[in-house]
Structure 1
Amino acid sequence: MRKCYLLLVLAFFYHTLLAETPRKTVNTSIDKVTVFLTGAQVTRTGNTTIQPGTTTLLFSNIAPNIQTQSIQVSSEGNFTVLSVVYQLNYLQQQEKNQEIDRLSKIKISLQDRLDVENSLLNVYAQEEQVLQANKAIGGEQQGVNINDLKQAADFYRTRLSEIKLKQLEIGKTIRSLTEQMSITDKQLNALHAQPDQPTGEIVVTVSSKTVVQAKFAVSYLVNQAGWHPTYDIRVKNISNPISLVYKANVFQQSGEDWNNVKLTISTGNPQEGGTKPVLTPWQLSFFHPHATTYATMVAPAMAGVNIRQIRGRITASDGNGLPGVNIQIKGSTVGTSTDANGNYILTIPANSSTVVYSFIGYHTLESPIHSPVMNFTLQEDITSLNEVVITGYGVSRGLAGKIAGVVTKKKDQEEASIPVNATMVRNQTQATFSIDYPYTIPTDGKQYTVDMKEYSVPADYEYYCTPKLDPDAFLMAKITNWDEYNLLEGEANLFFEGTFLGKSLLDVQTFTDTLQLSLGRDKNIVVSRTKLPNFTTKQFIGANKKEARAFEINIRNKKAQPITLIVEDQFPVSTNKDIEVTRLESSQATVEEETGKLTWQVKINPAQQKKLTVSYEVKYPKKERVLLE
């Protein structure tokens, strides 16, 4: 109780101090942004004059959703920083994009007109009800002469006709206005228009004995930002190096536009925990499993198996597509975003099982990779924002005030000028790419492609085929010393001899010295794998059954030059002592004993054809069933 009372007293004293000290707004602008894989550090700078005494400085128009513990305030001047506070300003809304503002006003105007037309429609409907309820003329004891009846009939017919025509006219107007509203809503969705949100403010209290010209740099981390690596891989021919363009697809919905900022792309991720794991004692005990259905055992194991690409549509609760939804494979840097209609296509890395869908203003959704087509509806997040957060306080004296672990830079410690293209710096735990000219990235959630680096990469080329899984031959490029390029896992656009071949995946999750890039299919190498019926046998020996299988692989080179083709197949491998596998024929392939993998390195001249044979025999109990193909 005493602790709570003390906190109330301190809070009252603090806010009383703010109310009594002069307040001054410091005009700042964003001059540099460091974009991480998840999140971005925004740095604002500004100058102001500090009067003698205690002054409260207000840094306004800050993003409303920032990590408050990340706020850093650097300053130059002979004064003392007393405290730093972050709060929300609900009286000042975020500045809207001009096009969004124009469309929002059009939508309000259309809604006003719809309200008027619906009101008129309701009035005519009520008048019609009154006329229908008062059709009776005369009474039970008194008749109606012909003239009165004719006048009444003419009146009802004329007025009801007028009402019906008016209702039809209003109905047409309502349908037209509704259609215009729908089109406006779709355009606002395409521009990623968000409901009005408050702005953030950083309140810095300083103390000075004299008039001081102060320079401030305020930085903070926003969550609604990030980037995905993608690549353009261009091959002129197999006699030349690969041209590899390293790109960053940057997106942000922080609530503040980044206009002409110095952009730095970082391979770091501040959202990941930095605390090392600690082993605890591993204590064994008896395990008593609960009853488990076959579906629950198989489904997790099958999730994502052999699914190499997913596509789908992400919608809001009203059924409209959500553009700019961030889609990422969990545990990797592979990602993309939805287009203007909410559609997406994403290549899946090996051993991936979960995909994450996130969009500002909506709950994040995680789903197992269970199908090549994955459609979802995101639910709106109506959680309210905290109004005031105090992030730190303290006193620092001297020429530079320091808050939240900030070290003030001197002028001679500023970063050197950036050369042409981009400057790559390898830090202790990450690599950064400083872009050589200013970039503008609005807060609309769209992906903006930033070319970071272009490499001319020496490569060895060969063809690869696994006809058991896919009959096509793939051109592969083998790159050594690839780790010096600081590549991340991501999608790659393939171009061969100036033609776009499609997408592939740059898989850098490997521990080998050689990185293999798949450059697409080559239809001029024809490969087929057929089962030989003459070698398919089945016989019974006592309590056992013996079956044999044989497959023939035919390869034909239709290209004008000789090729080297790596062909892979496999023998089955027994996991049960009652199943015996005998390897009969492998056409002099290299065989991995533990896995049964067969590898041939075949050199084929133009118009030449070669054949390879795989055959094996399996013996197992005749009462059991074994899949042999």
Structure 2
Amino acid sequence: MKKYITLFLIIFYLPLFTSANDQIEVSSKINNVTVYTNSASVERSASVNVPQGKSVLVFKKLSHQIVTNTIQFQTKGVRVLSIDSEYDKVELRDNKAYSELKSKIDQLKEKVFEKETYLEILNKDLELLEANKTISSSNLNLSELKSALAFFHDKRLQVEKEKSTYQKEVIVLKLEIEKLNKELSMISRDHISHYNNVMVTIQSDKAKSIDYLLKYIVNQVGWTPTYDILATDINSPFNVVFKANIYQRSGVDWNDVSISISSGAPSERNRLPKLNPKYLDLVALQQNRMVQQSAKVYSAPSYKKSSQDNWGAVEVEEEEVEEEIATSLSWVLNQSSYQTQFTYQINQKYSIPNNTRKKAIELKTEKIDALYTYRAIPKQGCDVFLLGKVTNWGKYNFIAGDANVYFEDQFIGTTYLSSTQHKDTLEISLGKDESIIVNRERAYQMERKRSFGNKKRANRAWKITVKNNKSKDINIEILDQIPISVNDQIIVTPLEMSKGTYDKETGEVEWNFSLDAQKSKEIILQYEVEYPAKGYEPLDVN
């Protein structure tokens, strides 16, 4: 009877033991990482021995930033039945470095307590000496009196010396405790409270060794582009060093891994946009103004600010508006700006620990042919800028980002490369050049004002002078503008533009010309404004 009971118990509990033994904890290492603009694809690969039948491969202490629905397990020769994940909570007290520091701090505090106890005893000794410092000379001869005074002197000196020594030791110990407490705070701040455990259930027809690839996407990782622009002179191509600044807060260190940099953003929604009907209606003028004043636009890359001068002309000025992004450390890629994504495979392996804010990796260096020219907008200021114009710039895979500019082996400053412009030519500012002088002044002698019937006509004239103090000839662009009328009663007519190119839509006037070394050139810009004689009086405008 006992045999049957024993056999029954063995048969009943056998599946439980088998199930427990079928869990295989797999040791894995990160081999490859593809860093996207706001996430990263992580790959772990190795070999593992699996038994016949069903078993569960357990990958412990993976990143808590894993996007669980992106986990993939790739292998051959076995069948993958399921992939699951769970959180594994980690207590701070289980952190080895934290525990060691805490123990060391406790030991130092015990030493401080011991030293401060000695100091209290020494202070009691001093109080006792003070209480008995009065010596009655009536019962002592001179020799005994001298001996008593010497005793009090020597004893007090000894106590003071010991007290000073202990005080210094306490100061040193407390400074060490303060230092260790800062290290403790950093460990506490960077502590990962939980990890992800991934369980892969597989079915194998026999016991074997399999090679596997575990792949998943993690958040809190990304990169931003920066550039070094190195120009030697205006007659040679310049070099552009492409760099990726990687940030990594996935919760797991990357040690000696192969890294690729991609312009994509797989964690963004991959949905095709569509247009919905937009309806237009009339509203009262006052109501429309109130709506405009209360509206706030955060997503537009720029807006147009209008100001009306005293002729009724409207001056339109472009101003940059910084887009408000919810995640301050995540660089967002405008996918509509690029037809394809690109990827850089870095030949060298890198180690990037968790909580890395910025790891600069050089991607490539391109020698780029450019057309150099100077540009000035004297209405806005007398500064003259050197521009490098790059044609067919799309083939270089520029992404919008900051650039450090070096010209003639000197650091000029920083600029911003905007790759979202829909032009064939990318303009790169290479800094100011103080050897070219531009001046804009009012030509009062050319202006006049007259009336006829119920109309008035007045004109404005400006003289722009360009002086090339360089030892070489230059090409230069000068930009100015003529006001644009938005009222049928106001007519603006260009009079003199010194062969400049006039854009009626924007009012912009552009002059492109070559200027010999040590030579000057004058430009005249003159326009006339016709407006109603009553109710309007023009004032000076720049």
Query: What TM-score range do you get, normalising by the shorter chain?
Result: 0.7 to 0.9
Matched with 1:86 is: 85
Matched with 2:441 is: 530
Matched with 1:296 is: 294
Cα separation, partners in 2 of 1:207 and 1:92, compared to 1, 3 Å:
farther
Letter in 1 for 2:381: D
Aligned match for 2:392, one of 458, 471, 481: 481
On the 8 A contact 1:61/1:94 being kept in 2, the answer is: no
Cα separation, partners in 2 of 1:291 and 1:528, compared to 1, 3 Å:
closer
Structure 1 residues 81-111: Cα deviation after superposition (integer angstroms, max 9, x where no partner): 2110111100477998x9xx57x96589669
| Aligned residues with identical type, % of pairs | 29
Aligned-pair distance for 1:38? 1.1
Cα separation, partners in 2 of 1:52 and 1:93, compared to 1, 3 Å:
farther
Q: Matched residues in 1 for 2:103 and 2:488: separation?
A: 76
The secondary structure found in structure 1 opposite 2:356 is coil
Q: Matched residues in 1 for 2:417 and 2:536: separation?
A: 43
The secondary structure found in structure 2 opposite 1:512 is coil
Aligned-pair distance for 1:219? 1.0
Structure 1 residues 582-617: Cα deviation after superposition (integer angstroms, max 9, x where no partner): 322222211112222111112211221222122223
Deviates more, 1:20-29 or 1:562-571: 20-29
Aligned-pair distance for 1:53? 2.7
Question: In the TM superposition, what are the counterparts of 1:5-20 in structure 2 within 5 Å?
Answer: 20=20
The secondary structure found in structure 1 opposite 2:382 is strand
Matched with 1:255 is: 251
Q: Matched residues in 2 for 1:179 and 1:623: separation?
A: 80
Cα separation, partners in 2 of 1:625 and 1:108, compared to 1, 3 Å:
farther
Q: Matched residues in 1 for 2:476 and 2:18: separation?
A: 76
Does 1:448 find its partner at 2:359? Answer: yes
Q: Matched residues in 1 for 2:494 and 2:58: separation?
A: 79
Does 1:623 find its partner at 2:535? Answer: yes
Deviates more, 1:200-209 or 1:176-185: 176-185
Q: Matched residues in 2 for 1:251 and 1:42: separation?
A: 15
TM-score normalized by the length of structure 1: 0.63
Letter in 1 for 2:226: T
On the 8 A contact 1:35/1:225 being kept in 2, the answer is: yes
Does 1:184 find its partner at 2:182? Answer: yes
On the 8 A contact 1:107/1:181 being kept in 2, the answer is: no
Matched with 2:32 is: 32
Cα separation, partners in 2 of 1:111 and 1:268, compared to 1, 3 Å:
farther
On the 8 A contact 2:37/2:331 being kept in 1, the answer is: no
The secondary structure found in structure 1 opposite 2:383 is strand
Aligned-pair distance for 1:540? 6.7
Cα separation, partners in 2 of 1:193 and 1:533, compared to 1, 3 Å:
farther
Structure 1 residues 508-530: Cα deviation after superposition (integer angstroms, max 9, x where no partner): 22333222221111111111222
Cα separation, partners in 2 of 1:515 and 1:174, compared to 1, 3 Å:
same
Question: In the TM superposition, what are the counterparts of 1:477-556 in structure 2 within 5 Å?
Answer: 477-534=388-445, 546-556=457-467
Cα separation, partners in 2 of 1:115 and 1:267, compared to 1, 3 Å:
farther
Aligned-pair distance for 1:67? 1.0
Question: In the TM superposition, what are the counterparts of 1:26-65 in structure 2 within 5 Å?
Answer: 26-65=26-65
Q: Matched residues in 2 for 1:116 and 1:541: separation?
A: 101
Q: Matched residues in 2 for 1:94 and 1:617: separation?
A: 81
Aligned-pair distance for 1:291? 8.1
Question: In the TM superposition, what are the counterparts of 1:259-298 in structure 2 within 5 Å?
Answer: 259-280=255-276, 292=290, 295-296=293-294
Q: Matched residues in 1 for 2:86 and 2:385: separation?
A: 57
Q: Matched residues in 1 for 2:194 and 2:331: separation?
A: 25
Matched with 1:9 is: none
Aligned-pair distance for 1:188? 6.6
Q: Matched residues in 1 for 2:507 and 2:181: separation?
A: 59
On the 8 A contact 1:464/1:475 being kept in 2, the answer is: yes
Does 1:216 find its partner at 2:212? Answer: yes
Matched with 1:384 is: none
On the 8 A contact 1:94/1:198 being kept in 2, the answer is: no
Aligned-pair RMSD on alpha carbons?
Answer: 4.6
Letter in 1 for 2:227: Y
Does 1:571 find its partner at 2:474? Answer: no
Matched with 2:315 is: none
On the 8 A contact 2:52/2:207 being kept in 1, the answer is: yes
On the 8 A contact 2:54/2:202 being kept in 1, the answer is: yes
Matched with 1:356 is: 325
Cα separation, partners in 2 of 1:510 and 1:291, compared to 1, 3 Å:
closer
On the 8 A contact 2:192/2:251 being kept in 1, the answer is: no
Cα separation, partners in 2 of 1:469 and 1:300, compared to 1, 3 Å:
farther
The secondary structure found in structure 1 opposite 2:219 is strand
Aligned-pair distance for 1:284? 6.4
Matched with 2:148 is: none
The secondary structure found in structure 1 opposite 2:197 is strand
On the 8 A contact 2:461/2:525 being kept in 1, the answer is: yes
Matched with 2:231 is: 235
Structure 1: give runs of 5+ residues left out of the alignment: 1-15, 122-164, 308-348, 367-426
Letter in 2 for 1:513: D
Q: Matched residues in 1 for 2:27 and 2:49: separation?
A: 11
Cα separation, partners in 2 of 1:281 and 1:608, compared to 1, 3 Å:
closer
Letter in 1 for 2:518: A
Matched with 1:134 is: none
Higher helix share: 2
On the 8 A contact 1:107/1:184 being kept in 2, the answer is: no
On the 8 A contact 2:447/2:458 being kept in 1, the answer is: yes
On the 8 A contact 2:299/2:324 being kept in 1, the answer is: no
Matched with 1:204 is: 200
Structure 1 residues 339-365: Cα deviation after superposition (integer angstroms, max 9, x where no partner): xxxxxxxxxx975431436368xxx99
Aligned-pair distance for 1:300? 7.1
Letter in 2 for 1:580: I
Matched with 2:4 is: none
The secondary structure found in structure 1 opposite 2:472 is coil
Aligned-pair distance for 1:454? 1.0
Aligned-pair distance for 1:561? 0.5
On the 8 A contact 1:21/1:54 being kept in 2, the answer is: no
* Number of residues of Structure 1 aligned to a counterpart in Structure 2: 465
The secondary structure found in structure 2 opposite 1:447 is strand
On the 8 A contact 2:101/2:180 being kept in 1, the answer is: no
Letter in 1 for 2:290: T
Cα separation, partners in 2 of 1:516 and 1:303, compared to 1, 3 Å:
closer
Cα separation, partners in 2 of 1:111 and 1:601, compared to 1, 3 Å:
farther
Cα separation, partners in 2 of 1:605 and 1:197, compared to 1, 3 Å:
same
Deviates more, 1:30-39 or 1:82-91: 82-91
On the 8 A contact 2:67/2:216 being kept in 1, the answer is: yes
Cα separation, partners in 2 of 1:286 and 1:474, compared to 1, 3 Å:
closer
Aligned-pair distance for 1:272? 2.4
On the 8 A contact 1:474/1:519 being kept in 2, the answer is: yes
Structure 1 residues 134-171: Cα deviation after superposition (integer angstroms, max 9, x where no partner): xxxxxxxxxxxxxxxxxxxxxxxxxxxxxxx9xxx99x
Structure 2: give runs of 5+ residues left out of the alignment: 1-15, 117-162, 306-317, 333-337
Q: Matched residues in 1 for 2:218 and 2:321: separation?
A: 28
Cα separation, partners in 2 of 1:600 and 1:29, compared to 1, 3 Å:
same
Q: Matched residues in 2 for 1:472 and 1:28: separation?
A: 59
Q: Matched residues in 2 for 1:581 and 1:94: separation?
A: 78
Q: Matched residues in 2 for 1:285 and 1:589: separation?
A: 41
Q: Matched residues in 2 for 1:350 and 1:263: separation?
A: 39
On the 8 A contact 1:468/1:529 being kept in 2, the answer is: yes
Matched with 2:312 is: none
Letter in 2 for 1:253: R
Structure 1 residues 271-303: Cα deviation after superposition (integer angstroms, max 9, x where no partner): 322111234455667768688277425887999
Matched with 1:326 is: none
